[in-house]
Amino acid sequence: MMAGIKPPDVVDKHVRESSDLYKAAEANVFADAQAAITAGADVNTANLQGVTPLLLAVKNNNAQLVQLLLKAQADVNLVSADSSPLHEAVRTRNAALLEVLLGAKGNVNLMSDGKSPLHVAIQENFGDVVDVLLRKGGDPKLKSAVGATSLHFAVIAGDRAMVEKFVTSSGSLNEQNKNGKTPLHIAAEKGNIDAIKVLLNAGANTNVKDTWGRLPSECGKITAFKMISEHKPGMKYEYVTADDEETDDKKKVDDKKKKK
């Protein structure tokens, strides 16, 4: 037999043990996974979609199995058809496990399904996970497959605090995605008045046209249209807080009582 080529029985055993490891990870059974690794399983074995035992362990929030696989040299940066161990740690909002993966040479800016872990964390509005990723070197200027920046994703998520975080740190206030849309276009489309206020207060350009020649003011409903089209440089907008809304509601009730 030629040097370097394993006998058929050895190859069959390796495939079998690797399959056993995948099944154990899928079933979330630590003891079976440990036995398969001890027997020589390939820790980076994957199904047809590229899903590895490590990705499954992260998805199942099994920190013990994750540590076992990492100790056996599982590759943190292997990407499946639509995810990766890092992206799954973000989706399950497991900041501690995410830190473990990043500490095992995980690429904080790894792209999967056209998005970085930071893009996913912002989209899910997981502030604690966003903070971990930024602290570990997540790039807020990195674009997704469709040209969206962190600020685009923050506007899509709709949380004002998240928009405020990235309006200053991303350096992409007027950046356009592949459809020519700036964050202000997106905010107008979604009717997100708070996001529009944040963007305008930060100096967003109201005259950028998208691929179809539309201004941000032409992408929204009447409130967004008026706010953007009537905006002048230097104008600042205040935000209505939950307490303000509660006070306004109470005032309306008191006024009704006085009229009776």
Convert the pLDDT of each residue in 185-228 to its tens digit. Answer: 999 999 999 999 999 999 999 999 999 999 999 988 777 777 88
Distance in angstroms (rounded) separating the CA atoms of residues 49 and 67: 23
Q: What's the pLDDT score for residue 1? A: 39
Q: What's the pLDDT score for residue 14? A: 44
Most distant CA atoms of the chain, gap in Å:
101
Q: What's the pLDDT score for residue 17? A: 59
> What CATH topology corresponds to 50-139?
1.25.40
Cβ atoms within 10 Å of 171's Cβ, excluding its own:
13
Q: What's the pLDDT score for residue 22? A: 93
Where in the chain do CATH 1.25.40.20 domains reside?
Answer: 50-139, 140-240
| Residue labelled with tokens 């989706």 | 91
**pTM (2 decimals)?**
0.82
Residues of the chain with pLDDT under 50: 1-14, 242-253, 256-257, 260
> What CATH topology corresponds to 140-240?
1.25.40
Q: What's the pLDDT score for residue 232? A: 77
Run of H or E including 121: helix 117-123
